[in-house]
């Protein structure tokens, strides 16, 4: 239990959050908060109290506000309930000095380094490989006529893709798949297996970075992958410690993995439950028109995006958001899912419209921590959805939507399973 003094919220009639119903459909509760308590202090399931910011304008301002630090040391009780709060930085310290937990100037230096290696061009060159991975995974389950789309498709695709991009040898990628699976399955729960998986991943990455650094000085230099690019960038004047390099590889894996699983999972689910939108996209793809696919993936991110709440922020000085005073040390969670359904910003926000144009959603965040992997996420999301719809034209849910279970984690929104049926392909 927390020893923090409870500062009661003026909104005692607020809907109950973090229940099973809320995990299934949080949008009515978010609509209430946006309207009645747009900056709302609540007790999280871990016992920590935090401010939830739900209006689009406030969310955008908070995401860019440098008085809100990403460094968990600014939490007013950083040692509180050690390891059980879900606040990053309490555990696994070596891997935790990564982009999402640091502020300028370190953030500026590390982000510049990784941006040199993780360029939109590198991602664009990767498109054929993403298509090949997508087709291979689909070939494996498509003969059966039924599948759990999360387990057999949405989950493995991003892990193999990011491993390839980083330069993790193919023969080691199934280990990553297992470690990542452990982390995603038990992310919010008891940590024994998770801690072991993180430890194994850390050991592996440290070793891989070391080996790549050695082989880069050999002639001829090996092919260019992201980890080699990172090492090269750091060897040209800017300093990157091996710990920082390992933390960088880890955050790329971690930030790029469950998010993309959920983009494919939530996106497919939204399409299957909005047949007229799905048919429209199917028809566009059949004529070779990809513009609806591009706007459509953005709309799916807005409508039911993978990152429900942006990652933790902590006030470093007194500030006001949406008229609410925030004290130094207070945690602030920006609710991207609520902001992206704000009727003050989006017309008919609860309607899925794949052709929506005025769509500056916050699904990838905003400001200096804006998603570094957005080009890769777009590539994977577009490839996965287009391939599914095109190759499995009668894809449908195998269960009633009410039977689907959503994961109850704090930051991410995604399905545990997505059972589907379709005419098998040979
Ligand atoms: C940051 C969303 C995929 C790497 C972020 C943030 C969001 C986000 C909301 C900002 C968090 C905050 O400000 O608290 C998403 C979504 C994705 C996705 C919705 C998939 C649909 C990826 C991929 C990668 C990636 C594929 C890399 C391979 C990162 C990194 C950051 C980040 C490194 C931290 C950037 C920084 O702090 O400067 N992402 N992401 N993401 N994302 Fe993504």
Sequential pLDDT tens for the chain (426 residues): 344 444 545 577 889 999 999 999 999 999 999 999 999 999 999 899 999 999 999 999 999 999 999 998 888 765 544 455 565 554 456 666 789 999 999 899 889 888 887 888 889 999 999 999 999 999 999 999 999 999 999 999 999 999 999 999 999 999 988 888 887 766 544 456 777 888 888 888 888 988 888 887 765 555 678 888 888 776 666 667 777 888 888 888 888 999 999 999 999 999 999 999 999 999 999 999 999 999 999 999 999 999 999 999 999 999 999 999 999 999 999 999 999 999 999 999 999 999 999 999 999 999 999 999 999 999 999 999 999 999 999 999 999 999 999 997 889 999 999 999 999 997
Strand 324-326 vs strand 319-321: parallel, antiparallel, or unpaired? antiparallel
Q: Which residues pair with residue 40 across a beta bridge?
A: 52
Report yes or no: 81 and 47 within 8 Å, Cβ to Cβ.
yes
pLDDT of amino acid 217: 72
Q: Which of 265, 173, 184 is nearest to 225 (CA)?
A: 173
Q: Contact 184/257 with Cβ under 8 angstroms?
A: yes
Q: What separation in Å is there between the alpha carbon of 76 and the centre of ligand 1?
A: 26
Contact call for residues 295 and 357 (beta carbons, < 8 A): yes
Supply the pLDDT for residue 10: 58
Q: State the distance from the centre of ligand 1 to the C-alpha of 9, rounded, in angstroms.
A: 31
Q: Please count the residues of the chain.
A: 426
Give 12's contacts (C-beta < 8 A, 6+ positions apart).
none
- Judge whether 115 and 376 are in contact, CB under 8 Å: no
Judged on CB neighbours under 10 Å (0-12, 13-18, 19+), 117 is buried
CA dist., res. 70 & res. 251, Å (int): 14
Distance 362 CA to ligand 1 centre (A): 11
Domains of the chain plus CATH, in order, are 20-421 (1.10.630.10)
Question: What is the Å distance from ligand 1's center to 206 Cα?
Answer: 22
Q: How far is CA 342 from CA 145, 181, 262, 349, 400, in A?
A: 39, 34, 21, 6, 28
Q: What is the pTM for the complete model shown?
A: 0.92
**Ligand 1 mutation target, pool 59, 264, 371, most atoms within 8 A of CB:** 371
- Please tell me the distance between residue 360's alpha carbon and the centre of ligand 1 in angstroms: 16
CA-to-CA dists, residue 47 to 2, 4, 18, 69, 332, angstroms: 6, 9, 12, 21, 15
- The residue whose CB lies within 8 Å of the most ligand 1 atoms, and thus the one to mutate among 114, 254, 255, 309, is 255
This model of the complex carries an ipTM of 0.99
Strands 331-334, 49-53: pairing kind: parallel
- Per-residue pLDDT at 417: 96
Helix, strand, or coil (residue 67): coil
pLDDT at 188: 45
Ligand 1 interacting residues, C-beta cut-off 6 A: 63, 99-100, 111, 162, 251-252, 255-256, 259-260, 263, 301, 305-307, 310-311, 363-365, 369, 371-373, 376-377
* Residue entry with tokens 């991943």: 201
Q: Which of 378, 371, 360, 305 is nearest to 335 (CA)?
A: 305
Best residue among 109, 364, 414 to mutate for probing ligand 1's pocket (most ligand atoms within 8 Å of CB) is: 364
The two tokens of residue 370 are 């804006």
């Amino acid at each position: 239990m927390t020893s923090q003094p409870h500062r009661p919220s003026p909104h005692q009639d607020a809907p109950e959050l973090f229940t099973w119903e809320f995990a299934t459909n949080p949008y009515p509760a978010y609509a209430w908060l946006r309207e009645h308590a747009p900056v709302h202090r609540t007790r999280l399931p871990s016992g920590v109290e935090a401010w939830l910011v739900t209006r689009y304008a406030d969310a955008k301002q908070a995401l860019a506000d440098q008085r809100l630090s990403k460094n968990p040391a600014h939490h007013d009780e950083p040692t509180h309930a050690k390891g059980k709060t879900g606040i990053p930085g309490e555990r696994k310290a070596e891997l935790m000095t990564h982009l999402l937990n640091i502020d300028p100037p370190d953030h500026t230096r590390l982000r510049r380094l990784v941006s040199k290696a993780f360029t939109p061009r590198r991602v664009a060159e990767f498109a054929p490989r993403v298509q090949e991975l997508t087709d291979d995974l689909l070939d494996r389950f498509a003969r059966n006529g039924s599948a759990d789309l999360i387990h057999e498709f949405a989950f493995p695709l991003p892990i193999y893709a990011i491993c390839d991009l980083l330069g993790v040898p193919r023969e080691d990628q199934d280990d990553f798949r297992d470690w990542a699976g452990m982390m995603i399955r038990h992310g919010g729960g008891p940590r024994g297996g998770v801690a072991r998986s993180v430890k194994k991943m850390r050991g592996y990455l440290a070793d891989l970075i070391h080996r790549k650094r050695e082989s880069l000085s050999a002639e001829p230099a090996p092919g260019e992958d992201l980890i080699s690019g990172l090492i090269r960038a750091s060897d040209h004047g800017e300093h990157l410690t091996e710990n920082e390099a390992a933390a960088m590889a880890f955050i790329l894996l971690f930030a790029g993995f469950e998010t993309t699983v959920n983009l494919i999972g939530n996106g497919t689910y939204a399409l299957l439950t909005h047949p007229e939108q799905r048919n429209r996209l199917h028809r566009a793809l059949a004529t070779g028109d990809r513009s609806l696919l591009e706007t459509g993936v953005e709309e799916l991110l807005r409508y039911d995006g993978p990152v429900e709440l942006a990652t933790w922020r902590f006030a470093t000085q007194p500030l006001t958001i949406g008229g609410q005073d925030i004290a130094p040390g207070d945690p602030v969670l920006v609710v991207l899912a609520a902001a992206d359904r704000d009727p003050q910003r989006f017309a008919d926000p609860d309607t899925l419209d794949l052709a929506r144009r005025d769509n500056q959603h916050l699904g990838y965040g905003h400001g200096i921590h804006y998603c570094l992997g957005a080009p890769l996420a777009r590539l994977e999301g577009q490839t996965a959805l287009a391939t599914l719809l095109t190759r499995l034209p009668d894809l449908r849910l195998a269960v009633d939507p009410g039977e689907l279970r959503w994961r109850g984690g704090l930051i991410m929104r995604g399905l545990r399973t997505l059972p589907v049926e379709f005419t098998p392909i040979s």
